[in-house]
Amino acid sequence: MEISDILLKLKNNEISIKDAEMELRINNYELVSDIAKVDIHRMKRVGIPEAIIADCKTYEEVASIARVHLEKEGGVIITRVNDKNFASLKSLAEETKSKIRWEKRARIIIIGETLTKQGGKIGVISAGTADIPVAEEAKVIAEEMGCSVFVIYDVGVAGIHRLFPELTKLVKAGVDAIVVVAGREGTLPTIVSGLVDVPVIGVPVSTGYGAGGNGKAALLSMLQSCSVLTVVNIDAGFTAGAFAARIANLAAKNRT
Amino acid sequence: MEISDILLKLKNNEISIKDAEMELRINNYELVSDIAKVDIHRMKRVGIPEAIIADCKTYEEVASIARVHLEKEGGVIITRVNDKNFASLKSLAEETKSKIRWEKRARIIIIGETLTKQGGKIGVISAGTADIPVAEEAKVIAEEMGCSVFVIYDVGVAGIHRLFPELTKLVKAGVDAIVVVAGREGTLPTIVSGLVDVPVIGVPVSTGYGAGGNGKAALLSMLQSCSVLTVVNIDAGFTAGAFAARIANLAAKNRT
Amino acid sequence: MEISDILLKLKNNEISIKDAEMELRINNYELVSDIAKVDIHRMKRVGIPEAIIADCKTYEEVASIARVHLEKEGGVIITRVNDKNFASLKSLAEETKSKIRWEKRARIIIIGETLTKQGGKIGVISAGTADIPVAEEAKVIAEEMGCSVFVIYDVGVAGIHRLFPELTKLVKAGVDAIVVVAGREGTLPTIVSGLVDVPVIGVPVSTGYGAGGNGKAALLSMLQSCSVLTVVNIDAGFTAGAFAARIANLAAKNRT
Amino acid sequence: MEISDILLKLKNNEISIKDAEMELRINNYELVSDIAKVDIHRMKRVGIPEAIIADCKTYEEVASIARVHLEKEGGVIITRVNDKNFASLKSLAEETKSKIRWEKRARIIIIGETLTKQGGKIGVISAGTADIPVAEEAKVIAEEMGCSVFVIYDVGVAGIHRLFPELTKLVKAGVDAIVVVAGREGTLPTIVSGLVDVPVIGVPVSTGYGAGGNGKAALLSMLQSCSVLTVVNIDAGFTAGAFAARIANLAAKNRT
Amino acid sequence: MEISDILLKLKNNEISIKDAEMELRINNYELVSDIAKVDIHRMKRVGIPEAIIADCKTYEEVASIARVHLEKEGGVIITRVNDKNFASLKSLAEETKSKIRWEKRARIIIIGETLTKQGGKIGVISAGTADIPVAEEAKVIAEEMGCSVFVIYDVGVAGIHRLFPELTKLVKAGVDAIVVVAGREGTLPTIVSGLVDVPVIGVPVSTGYGAGGNGKAALLSMLQSCSVLTVVNIDAGFTAGAFAARIANLAAKNRT
Amino acid sequence: MEISDILLKLKNNEISIKDAEMELRINNYELVSDIAKVDIHRMKRVGIPEAIIADCKTYEEVASIARVHLEKEGGVIITRVNDKNFASLKSLAEETKSKIRWEKRARIIIIGETLTKQGGKIGVISAGTADIPVAEEAKVIAEEMGCSVFVIYDVGVAGIHRLFPELTKLVKAGVDAIVVVAGREGTLPTIVSGLVDVPVIGVPVSTGYGAGGNGKAALLSMLQSCSVLTVVNIDAGFTAGAFAARIANLAAKNRT
Amino acid sequence: MEISDILLKLKNNEISIKDAEMELRINNYELVSDIAKVDIHRMKRVGIPEAIIADCKTYEEVASIARVHLEKEGGVIITRVNDKNFASLKSLAEETKSKIRWEKRARIIIIGETLTKQGGKIGVISAGTADIPVAEEAKVIAEEMGCSVFVIYDVGVAGIHRLFPELTKLVKAGVDAIVVVAGREGTLPTIVSGLVDVPVIGVPVSTGYGAGGNGKAALLSMLQSCSVLTVVNIDAGFTAGAFAARIANLAAKNRT
Amino acid sequence: MEISDILLKLKNNEISIKDAEMELRINNYELVSDIAKVDIHRMKRVGIPEAIIADCKTYEEVASIARVHLEKEGGVIITRVNDKNFASLKSLAEETKSKIRWEKRARIIIIGETLTKQGGKIGVISAGTADIPVAEEAKVIAEEMGCSVFVIYDVGVAGIHRLFPELTKLVKAGVDAIVVVAGREGTLPTIVSGLVDVPVIGVPVSTGYGAGGNGKAALLSMLQSCSVLTVVNIDAGFTAGAFAARIANLAAKNRT
C-alpha cells in the first residue's frame, strides 16, 4: 500500500490515526530508497544498470536472473560471459524481442536499449595487452551509461615516452575523467594523474607472477601513489567505468 | 634556455641546426610537463597545492621545505602537524608576511592565500568520532582548492537510521561528490553510494583492534563493495578531499 | 569394565583396593566424557549430529564412514556432496532400510531419522544469490536439530531498504537467533544486529575477486563490526546453523 | 515532528495529503529503528548499553562524550580506561549525582544504574593469567546487562585435567552460554565446546610472540575448530560478554 | 685424488710441497663432508635415505633419478607417487632385480633393501581421517630407517576422552618419540605433549577451509603451543618421521 | 579426596557404591594427568620446570606467582626478566631461604634447586651476536633440566668456513641434540642438519628489517629446509632448550 | 616530423618561431627516449630484446604480436611457450625466412638473429632439479644478449660440500656475474655471494609446499641475506639473466 | 697450523701420512674460504668492508666489536649510529690513532683508512626527501669501496619531467651502475631502468602509511617491474651500495 493511500484512508476516516501509524511503521521501509525524490531537480535517477556476474553461476541461473531484470527494468548487463552464455541469452533476447549486444573482449552481454548519449566523455588507458579485457569492461559500461569513451591501449611504463602524445590527444578531446588500467607494478595511473587535471581512477589488473602478483603490487602501489588518485579493486573495470561515467554525466549535465 | 630562445638564435644564425637540435635534446625535458598548454581552453592548471607531510621530518626540515614552496608558489600546505610545527611555521609566516591558518583537528597548517571559490560543492561524512581528523583533512584541502564543504559527522552504521535525514540534506545542497570516511568494518561508503547518484569516495580509517584492525577491514570491505565506489588508502583524507575537489571544480566550471 | 563393576568387585572382596585403583586409573578416561551425567536434569545430550565432509574423500571412503555412523548412532549427515555421493549413499540407505534425504542446494545428504521438533526457531538471511548454498547448509542442519527455520534470501546492502520489511517478518515470527550469510564486503550481519535484539551470527562467504576476495573482507568486517555479533569461519554454514540451533533449543526448552 | 503529529495535522486539515507525504518522506528515517515496536511482546529493547572506548581519545573527549550518554540514557560504560580517566569521570559522576563503579581488572568504568537482574546466567573461562583483563571485560558487561556470571580463571590446556572439575561446576550452575577466553594457540574453546551442550563463544587474546602471535593463532584456530563454536575478534571481551548476555537473557525470559 | 694419495706422492718426492698444497686446495672440498669420520665411534652415518618427491616431475624424470640413486646407494625412496609412477618404477625394480614396495596410503614407493631394525620405537598419532596420508608418510620413513612404529589414528580433539586410553598404550610400549599429525585447528600435539615426557613433534596438515585453512591455523597454533613441542612444515610427514627416527635410533643405540 | 580414600570408604561401608561412583565421577579428572604412573618404569616425570614469562606482568604479579610455584614445587624459573624483577625476586629468595640465580644474558632467574645432572648433552649454536640471548635461554633451561650444554656462538653463514671446525668439536663431545639459533635468513640450522646425524632443532630469531624481518624469513626458511629439521617459534629458546633436553635425557637414561 | 625537419623549415622561413615551438611541443615526446644519444660514446643501445610472455595469451595473439616485433626489430623472444606455440611460430619463421630456435627446458622460442658475442661471461647456478627451467631461462636470455654462460646445476645446500669445487671452476672461468637460482629455503645465493667477489643475483623459485612455499621463503631469505646480494622476483629467470648480461657486457666492453 | 707446515713435517718425517691426513681433516675448514686464491689473477679480494649494525646493540657492545674488527682488518664500518655511538667510537679512534669519519645523514661511522679510488663510478637517485638517509648509506659504502658516486636527490614521479635532465647528466658521467631509492609506490627504479642501459638496483624505502606502507608497496612494485631491475630489501642502502660498487669496480678494473 502506497503512503498516499494510507493518508487518504486516514483523511477519509476509513482508518484511525493509530492504525495509520502502524501501517506506516510496517511499510515505512519503502520510503528509505526515495532520497532522490526529495530533490525535485533530480527526479529520475541516472542509474547504473543492474549487472549480473556470470562466471560463478550456471547458464540457466544467469538466463533466469537476466529475464527478471529485463522484464522489470527493460535492460540488463551480464559481465564475465562466455560463448555458452551468449547462446542461452540470445534465445532470451529473441523471445523478448530485445536487442542483444555481445562485447567479446569486455566479456559483456547487453540486452535491451542503451541509454541515449548523456554528453559525458571519459578516457580509458591501459598499460599492456593483458589489461585490455578489464579496460574494455570499463569502456562498455561507460558507453552503456551514455558516455563517449576514448581509449589508449598498450602504453606501458617501460617506454614512458609513448604515453605523452597519446595523453595529449585525450586531453584535447576534453574528457571529464580518465580510467587507467595497469597490472604488474601498476605505475601508469600515478604518472597520468601527475600530468593532467581531470580525476583519474586506477584499476589494478590481476597480471604478474610471484611476490606482488595477481594485481597485489599494482593495487598497493596505486594506494601509495604520491599523485591524487582513487582506486577500485583488482580487475574491477565495471566499477571504474561506472564511477567515471557518474563524474562525466554530472559534468555534462552542467555543460548543457 | 627557453625553446623560443633557441629557435630565435637559430633563426638569427647564431647557432647551427645541429647545435639547436642538441640544445633541444638536452633541454627537452622541460617540454614534457606542458601537456595542458597544448589545450588552449585549459591554459592554467587548477592545481592541487603542494603538500608537505610533517610527521616524519624534523621541525627544521619542515620549516625549510615550507619556505621553498612558499617562495616559489606563494602558498604551502603542511599536513600532520603538531604544536611545535606551528611555532616554527608561525615565525616563517611572520617573516614572509604571509597569512597562516592552523586547522587543528585536521592537523593541517596553511601558509599563504587560499584559492578563491571555484563553485564546487562536496560532502564529507564520517562514521565515528575517531574518524574526524581524517574527515577534517579532506574538508580543509577541498576548501583550500576553492570548494564549499558540507559535513556530516558521527553517523555510524550501528544506528543506520541516523544516516538518512542527514544524507537528504546533503543531496538537497547539491554536492558534486561525497567523501565518506569510515573505520573498523568500513560499511558506510557502500551504503551511501547505494542511495545517491553523485560519485562517492571511500576513505578507510586506521581504527579497530585485532584482525582487520588499523583500517585493513575497512579498506578491504570498500574494495569489495557491491556499490559503485572508489577508494583511497587508509587515512588518506588529503587525497580523497583533493580528488573530490577535482570533480567538483570540474562540474562547477561547466555550471557557470 | 564399568566403574560400578569395579566398585562392586571391590565391595565383594574380589579385588584389592590397590587393584581397583589401578583398574580405575587404566580405564579412567571413559569418565571424562560424562560431564553431562553429573547434571541430572540434562541426562541426554541434545547432540549435534556427527557430520562427514565429503569433498576431500573418495566415494568409497564417504560411504564406509557413513555406514559406521549410521550403525552406531542411527543417523548421519554428509556435507558438500555431489551426484555421485548420492548414488553410493542411496545404496547404503536402501541396504540398511534407512530414510535418505538429499538437500541439493545445501549440498547435504541425511540418512536416518531427523530429530523431532524441539520448538526452537531461527532465521537465516542471505545477501546474494551466491550465498544461498551456505545459507541452506545452515538451514538444513538447524532443521535436522529440530528447529523451525525462516529464510530471507537475496537482501543485499546495495538496496538496504529491501531488508527492513523482511526483517520485521522474522522478528514477528519470534526467532531465537538469526544466521546472516554475506560475501564480498560482508556488511549485512552488522546492520541486522543493530536492528534486532536476538543473537546474530555472521557467516562470511567465499565470494568476491581481488583484494579481500574469497570471503576475507567479509570475515574481517564482521570481526570489526560495531554491532554485537559473533562469527564463524568462511562458508561455515554448518557451524552457524548448529550454533543457532543450540541457542534456539535452549530457549525453547525454557519456553515449554 | 512525530508521525502521529503529522497524521493529526492531516486529520485536522492543517496540511494537505501531499504535504503530509513530503513530511513523512523527509522524516521517515526515524521509523526505521523501530522494528521491535511492531512486535508487541517485545515493546522495550533489552538493550546493550552504549559503550565508549577510552584509549584512543583524550581525557576531555571521553568525559564529554560520557556526559552526553549519561544525560540521554541515564547510564554509560567506558572501556579501556586508566587512572586518569577515573579522575575526570569521577568529577562527572559527582556533578551529576550518579553512581560510579570502576572495574579495574576489566578496565571499565560504569556511571549510572545497572540493569536489574534478568535471570540469565553465563560462564566465563580463561586459559591464562594474561587473559584475565579480557575475561573481566566480558564478565562486567554481562553483569551490567543483568546476568549472573560464573568465572573459571587460569585453566590452561597444558594441564587439561585441571579443566574438568571446574567445568562440571559451571554446568551444574546451569549457565545458558559460556565465554571462553584464550591466547597463544587458543585451544580451550574447542575443548569446552566439545564437552558441553550450551553455546560457547571463543575470544582470542592478543598474547603470544612470533608467528601467530598477538592473538592471530588463537583466532584462526578457533575459526578452524572442529567443535561448534562462534568467535569474536581478538580481545573483544565486550562483544562476547554482551552476546552471551543476549542469549542468557533470552533463555531467562522464557524460563520465568 | 684422495688426500692420502697426495700425501704419499709428497712423501715419495713425486710432487713438491707447493704442488701438494695446490692440489689440496683444489680438492679440499671433499674433506668438508667428512665431519663424522673425525669421530671414531660414529664411523658410519645412520643416514636418512635420499628421497625423491614425485609429484612435480614427469614419470621419466622420476624413474631416471631413481635409477641413479639406486645404483649409487642400493636403495631409494620416492614420495607423493601415484599409479603411473608405480608402473614405471616397477620396470626399474625388475630390471635391477631390486625389491619394490608400494605404500599406497603413504604415497611412497621404496626400491631396494630396508635398514635392519635399529631398535628405535616411535608413535604416530593422527587427529582425523584426512590426516592419515601424512601420518603414513611419517610411519613409512621411520620404518625404513629401522624403527618400530605404533600408530593411533582418528583421535580428534572434539572427543578428547578418546585420546587417553590410546595414549597410555603408546607410553606403555615405550616409544622414544611421538609424531602427532593434525589439521584444522591443530590442537592435538599440544595436548599430547602436556601428558607425556617423550619428545613430541607436531605436523600440521593442509586441511580446513577459509581463514586459517590449508594447515595455516594448525601450524600457527603448534608454534604458539604452551607445551614443549617442535614443529615441521605443513604436510611434512617425511621430515617428522625421519626426525623422530633419528631420536629413536639414538636412544636405541644407547639402550643396547 | 584421593581415589584410594574413596575406595577405602567403600570397602569400609562408609559410602554406597552409587555414592562412590558419583565421587569418582566428580573427582575423576585428577586421574587423567597420571598417565606416566601406569608405566611402572617411568614412575617419576623428569619434568620440565614450570616457567613464568615476566615481561607482560607487573613486578608484584611475577613475584606472587613465583611464590606459589616455589612453595608447591620447590623451584621456579622466570624468563624475560630485567633488573627490577631481580630485586623483588631476591627478596622472595631470601625470605624463603632459597638459592637464586640470575642468568643475565638469558634473561632468566631461577629460584630453588637445579636438577642433578641427568647425563644428557646438547649443543647450542648461534649465528650472530644478536642471537645470543635466545641461545642462552635454550642453554639455561637445558642445564636446569640436568644437561651439559656446549655452545658455539657467532658462526654465521656469510663465513661458512668458520662453522666446520667448531661443529666437529661438538660432534666429538657426543651431543645428543643440537639447538641452532639464527635470525635474518635463518640458513644455519639447514646446513648443520646436513652435516651431522643427531637431531637438530632450529630457532628463528626476531632480527632483520624490512620484508621477512622480525624472524619471519628465518622461520619460513627453516620450515622449507631440505634437511631433516624441526622448528620452534621465533625467539622460543626456552622451548627448543627444553625439547633438546628431553631428547638428551632420554638418550642418557639408556646410556647408563 | 623529425626535429631537424622542423628546424630546417624554421631556418628556411617556411614556418614561424611560434609555429615551430608548437610543433616541437606536440612532438616533443619523441625526444625523451633519446637519452643515450646525448652520450656520443654509447650511440647504440645494447638493448635487451623485447620479450613476449606466452602463457596468458592465445596462440594467435602470441603469433601476431611476434610478427610485429619481428618486422620492426628483426628478432623476438617468446617465453613460457609450449608445443603448440612452437607450431604456430614455426610457420611465422618459415614465412618470414627467419631462423627459429626452441629452447625447450627454458620454455623459450627465439626468432631472428642472435646478437654476436659481446664478450661478457656469466655463471648460472641452480640448487635442485626443479629449478632448472628458471635457470635455463636466465641462461638463454644471456646468451641471446651475446654472453657466454657457464652453468652448474643441482648443487643444493643439503650437501654444501658439492658446491665448492664447482664454484671454483666458475671463478677460474672469469665470470663477470653469477645468477643463483634456488627454491624452498633459498640459501644458495647467500653462500655463493659470501665466497666470491663478483656480483651475485638471487632468483627464488616457486617450489616448496606449505608455509613459505611457492618461492616465498626463498624470496624472503634472499632479501634478508647477510651477504651482498640483489634479488629478482620469484621465477624471474629472464630478468636475472638480462641483468647479469648487462653487467657482463659492460665489463666486457671495458675489457677489449 | 698452516697446510704448508703440515706438509713440511710430513716431508721431514716428523709425522706419518696418517697423522698428516688427520691434521688436515681437522683443520681443513680453513681451506674453504680460499677459493679466490686458486685464481691467480684475483689474488686479493676487493672486499666489502665488514659492517656492524649499531641500532640493536648497546654502546659498549658496538665499541668492543668495532675494536676487534679494527685490530684485525685495519678498518671498520658502523651503520645506523647516533650521537652516543659517535662519542664512544671517537674514544676508540683516538686510542688507536685511527681516522674516524661520521657520515651523519647516512647514519654511518667509519674508522680507519678508506680504500684508494678503484675507478668505479655509480649513480644514486632518490625520489623524496625521506629517502635520503637510505641513499646516503648506499653512497657512503660505495665511496668506502673506492668508487666515485654521483647523486640526484628529490626527483619524484609526480613530476616525472624533473627526472630527465638529471638522468642525462648521470649517463654523461659514465656511471657503471645506478642505485635508485624510492618509497611509497616505488616507481622510480622502473622508469630509470627503462631509459638507461647500465644495471639499475632498486631500493624500497620504509615510507608510506596504510596498505602497502613501510616500503611494502615499493618492494612489490619493484619486484613486479616490467623493466630489467634487481632489488634489495627495504631500507637496505648498504647492500645496494656495496653491490653497485662491486659492479663498478669490476668494470673499472677492465677499463684500466
Cβ separation E25–H34 shorter than 8 A: yes
Lowest pLDDT segment from A17-26, A177-186, B35-44: B35-44
**pLDDT band, very low/low/confident/very high, at E245 (cuts 50, 70, 90):** very high
- The whole-chain average pLDDT of chain D stands at 82
User: Regarding predicted confidence, which is higher, A146 or F168?
Assistant: A146
Q: At what angle do helices G188-195 and G163-173 cross, to 10 degrees?
A: 50
User: Regarding predicted confidence, which is higher, F63 or G28?
Assistant: F63
The stretch A206-228 carries a mean pLDDT of 92
Residue H172 C-alpha cell reads as 654523461
User: Regarding predicted confidence, which is higher, B85 or D61?
Assistant: B85
Rounded Cα gap, residues G48 and G50, in angstroms: 6
Name subunits touching G (3+ CB pairs < 8 A): A, B, E, F, H
Cβ separation D28–A31 shorter than 8 A: yes
Provide residues of D within 8 Å CB-CB of chain F: 129-130, 159-165, 168, 207, 209-212
**How far does chain A reach from its first CA to its final CA, in angstroms?**
39
**pLDDT band, very low/low/confident/very high, at E256 (cuts 50, 70, 90):** low
Looking at the predicted structure, is the pLDDT value of residue G161 above 80? Answer: no
Cβ separation H250–G247 shorter than 8 A: yes
Q: H7: which residues sit within 8 A by CB, 6+ positions away?
A: E7, E10, E17, E20, E21, H20
Whether the predicted interface score ipTM is above 0.85: no
- Tell me the CATH class for C121-255: alpha beta
Taking contacts as CB-CB distances below 8 angstroms, the residues of chain A near H186 are: 185, 221, 224
Kindly compute the dihedral angle of the four CA atoms of residues A212, A218, A222, A224, in this order, to the nearest 10 degrees: 10
Which of A163, A185, A209, A222 to probe the H interface (max H CBs under 10 A)? A185
Overall pTM surpassing 0.80 (yes/no): yes
The stretch F207-217 carries a mean pLDDT of 91
Q: How much of chain A, in percent, has pLDDT values that exceed 70?
A: 83
Q: How much of chain C, in percent, has pLDDT values that exceed 70?
A: 83
Q: At what angle do helices D59-73 and D83-95 cross, to 10 degrees?
A: 40
Which residue in C163, C224, A225 sits closest to B182, CA to CA?
C224
Taking contacts as CB-CB distances below 8 angstroms, the residues of chain C near A233 are: 209-212
Taking contacts as CB-CB distances below 8 angstroms, the residues of chain G near A164 are: 28-29, 32
Which residue in A81, H148, D252 sits closest to C254, CA to CA?
D252
Q: G72: which residues sit within 8 A by CB, 6+ positions away?
A: none
**pLDDT band, very low/low/confident/very high, at D72 (cuts 50, 70, 90):** confident
Rounded Cα gap, residues F5 and A134, in angstroms: 78
Question: CATH 3.40.50.1970 in chain B, residues?
Answer: 121-255
**pLDDT band, very low/low/confident/very high, at F238 (cuts 50, 70, 90):** very high
Lowest pLDDT segment from B117-131, E132-146, G145-159: G145-159
Looking at the predicted structure, is the pLDDT value of residue B1 above 70? Answer: no
Interval C133-149: pLDDT, tens: 999 999 999 999 899 99
Q: How much of chain B, in percent, has pLDDT values that exceed 70?
A: 83
Helix (H) or strand (E) holding H154: none
Looking at the predicted structure, is the pLDDT value of residue G32 above 80? Answer: no
Rounded Cα gap, residues C234 and C137, in angstroms: 13
Q: Indicate the residue of F29, F215, F235 with minimum beta-carbon distance to D165.
A: F29
Alpha-carbon distance values, B151 to B80, B117, B138, B155 (Å): 20, 17, 10, 11
Looking at the predicted structure, is the pLDDT value of residue B216 above 90? Answer: yes
Rounded Cα gap, residues C105 and C86, in angstroms: 13
Min CA distance, A241 vs chain G (Å)? 24
Min CA distance, A203 vs chain B (Å)? 10
Lowest pLDDT segment from C232-241, E48-57, F65-74, H144-153: E48-57
- Phi and psi at G126, nearest 5°, equal -130, 150
CB pairs under 8 A between C and E: 44
The stretch F214-229 carries a mean pLDDT of 93
Helix, coil or strand: residue A74: coil
Lowest pLDDT segment from B146-155, B206-215, F61-70: F61-70
Which residue in G70, G193, G200, G92 sits closest to G138, CA to CA?
G200
Q: F229 near E238, Cβ under 8 Å?
A: no
- Phi and psi at B194, nearest 5°, equal -75, -10
- pLDDT mean values, one per 10 residues, chain H (256 residues): 80 86 60 37 46 79 83 83 90 92 91 82 89 94 93 68 74 91 91 85 93 94 91 96 93 80
* Burial state string for G71-96 with b = 16 or more CB within 10 A and e = fewer than 16: eeeebbbbbbbeeebbebbeebbeee
Q: At what angle do helices D17-27 and A3-11 cross, to 10 degrees?
A: 130
Rounded Cα gap, residues G35 and H163, in angstroms: 11
Cβ separation E234–G212 shorter than 8 A: no
Q: Indicate the residue of C171, C232, C240 with minimum beta-carbon distance to D35.
A: C171
pLDDT for the residue numbered H238:
94
pLDDT for the residue numbered E48:
65
**pLDDT band, very low/low/confident/very high, at D37 (cuts 50, 70, 90):** very low
pLDDT for the residue numbered C40:
30
Alpha-helical (H) ranges within H74-208 are: 83-95, 132-144, 163-173, 188-195
Which residue in C240, E160, B211 sits closest to D229, CA to CA?
C240
Alpha-carbon distance values, A229 to A184, A198, A218 (Å): 18, 10, 13
Which of E32, E35, E58, E69 to probe the G interface (max G CBs under 10 A)? E32
User: Regarding predicted confidence, which is higher, B198 or B41?
Assistant: B198
Q: A95 near A123, Cβ under 8 Å?
A: no
Interval C26-43: pLDDT, tens: 555 444 434 333 333 222
Cβ separation C24–F17 shorter than 8 A: no
Q: Indicate the residue of F187, F218, F220 with minimum beta-carbon distance to G211.
A: F220
Which of H104, H157, H161, H214 to probe the B interface (max B CBs under 10 A)? H161
Lowest pLDDT segment from C182-191, F45-54, G203-212: F45-54
Residue G36 C-alpha cell reads as 643515450
Q: What's the order of all strands across the beta sheet hosting H75-79?
A: H51-53, H75-79, H108-112, H100-103
Residue G49 C-alpha cell reads as 630484446
Taking contacts as CB-CB distances below 8 angstroms, the residues of chain F near D164 are: 28-29, 32
Looking at the predicted structure, is the pLDDT value of residue C176 above 90? Answer: yes
Looking at the predicted structure, is the pLDDT value of residue B34 above 50? Answer: no
Q: Report the chain G residue with the minimal C-alpha distance to residue B37.
A: G25
Bridge partners, residue F192, by sequence: none
Interval E164-176: pLDDT, tens: 777 878 888 889 9
Q: Do chains G and B touch (3 or more CB pairs under 8 A)?
A: yes
User: Regarding predicted confidence, which is higher, D230 or E1?
Assistant: D230
Q: Are strands B108-112 and B75-79 parallel, antiparallel or unpaired?
A: antiparallel
Q: Indicate the residue of C160, C161, C211 with minimum beta-carbon distance to A219.
A: C211
* Secondary structure string (H, E, C) spanning chain E: CCHHHHHHHHHCCCCCHHHHHHHHHHHCHHHHCCHHHHCHHHCCCCCCCCEEECCCCCHHHHHHHHHHHHHHHCEEEEECCCHHHHHHHHHHHHHCCCCEEEECCCCEEEEECCCCCCCCEEEEEECCHHHHHHHHHHHHHHHHCCCEEEEECCCCCCCHHHHHHHHHHHHHCCCCEEEEEECCCCCHHHHHHHHCCCCEEEEECCCCCCCCCCCHHHHHHHHCCCCCCEECCCCCHHHHHHHHHHHHHHHHHHHC
pLDDT for the residue numbered C172:
79
Q: G69: which residues sit within 8 A by CB, 6+ positions away?
A: G50, G52, G75, G76
Cβ separation F191–G160 shorter than 8 A: yes
pLDDT for the residue numbered C120:
93
Interval A91-145: pLDDT, tens: 999 999 999 999 998 999 999 877 778 889 999 999 877 899 999 999 999 999 8
Which of C104, C132, C152, C161 to probe the A interface (max A CBs under 10 A)? C161
Rounded Cα gap, residues C28 and F24, in angstroms: 9
Which residue in D58, D66, D46, D47 sits closest to D108, CA to CA?
D66
Alpha-helical (H) ranges within A112-161 are: 132-144
pLDDT for the residue numbered C149:
96
The stretch F235-246 carries a mean pLDDT of 95
Rounded Cα gap, residues E224 and E108, in angstroms: 31
Q: Report the chain E residue with the minimal C-alpha distance to residue G184.
A: E233
Taking contacts as CB-CB distances below 8 angstroms, the residues of chain G near H166 are: none
**pLDDT band, very low/low/confident/very high, at A64 (cuts 50, 70, 90):** confident
Taking contacts as CB-CB distances below 8 angstroms, the residues of chain B near C223 are: 210-212, 217
Q: E139 near E151, Cβ under 8 Å?
A: yes
pLDDT for the residue numbered B148:
95
- What architecture does CATH give domain C33-112? 2-Layer Sandwich (3.30)
Provide residues of H within 8 Å CB-CB of chain F: 26-33, 56-57, 61, 65, 204, 206, 215-216, 219, 233-236
Kindly compute the dihedral angle of the four CA atoms of residues H231, H232, H237, H243, in this order, to the nearest 10 degrees: -80
Q: Do chains D and B touch (3 or more CB pairs under 8 A)?
A: yes
Q: Indicate the residue of H29, H61, H204 with minimum beta-carbon distance to F165.
A: H29
Looking at the predicted structure, is the pLDDT value of residue E142 above 50? Answer: yes
Min CA distance, F32 vs chain C (Å)? 7
Q: B27: which residues sit within 8 A by CB, 6+ positions away?
A: B1, B3, B6, H165
CB pairs under 8 A between F and G: 113
**How far does chain G reach from its first CA to its final CA, in angstroms?**
39
Name subunits touching C (3+ CB pairs < 8 A): A, B, D, E, F
Interval E67-113: pLDDT, tens: 877 887 778 889 989 888 999 999 999 999 999 999 998 999 999 87
Rounded Cα gap, residues E67 and E74, in angstroms: 10
- Cell numbers 656511471 label which residue? H175
pLDDT for the residue numbered D214:
92
Interval E100-131: pLDDT, tens: 999 998 999 999 876 778 889 999 999 877 89
Residue E224 C-alpha cell reads as 604458539
User: Regarding predicted confidence, which is higher, C89 or D5?
Assistant: C89
Q: D45 near D118, Cβ under 8 Å?
A: no
Cβ separation C197–D230 shorter than 8 A: no
The stretch C212-221 carries a mean pLDDT of 95
Q: Do chains G and F touch (3 or more CB pairs under 8 A)?
A: yes
Looking at the predicted structure, is the pLDDT value of residue A255 above 90? Answer: no
Q: Report the chain F residue with the minimal C-alpha distance to residue E40.
A: F172
Name subunits touching F (3+ CB pairs < 8 A): C, D, E, G, H
Q: Indicate the residue of D229, D232, D250 with minimum beta-carbon distance to C198.
A: D250
pLDDT for the residue numbered B95:
92
pLDDT for the residue numbered C26:
54
Residue H182 C-alpha cell reads as 624510492
**pLDDT band, very low/low/confident/very high, at E38 (cuts 50, 70, 90):** very low
Which residue in H91, H211, H189 sits closest to H134, CA to CA?
H189
Query: What's the length of chain E?
Result: 256
Q: Report the chain E residue with the minimal C-alpha distance to residue G129.
A: E57
- Cell numbers 633419528 label which residue? E246
- The whole-chain average pLDDT of chain F stands at 82
Looking at the predicted structure, is the pLDDT value of residue B36 above 50? Answer: no
Q: Indicate the residue of F28, F33, F234 with minimum beta-carbon distance to D209.
A: F234
Question: CATH 3.30.1370 in chain H, residues?
Answer: 33-112
Q: F228: which residues sit within 8 A by CB, 6+ positions away?
A: E48, E239, E242, E243, E246, F193, F200
Residue B97 C-alpha cell reads as 608576511
**pLDDT band, very low/low/confident/very high, at B64 (cuts 50, 70, 90):** confident
The stretch D66-90 carries a mean pLDDT of 86
Interval G61-90: pLDDT, tens: 888 888 877 887 778 889 989 888 999 999
The stretch B126-151 carries a mean pLDDT of 91
Interval F114-170: pLDDT, tens: 677 888 999 999 987 789 999 999 999 999 989 999 999 876 554 555 677 678 788
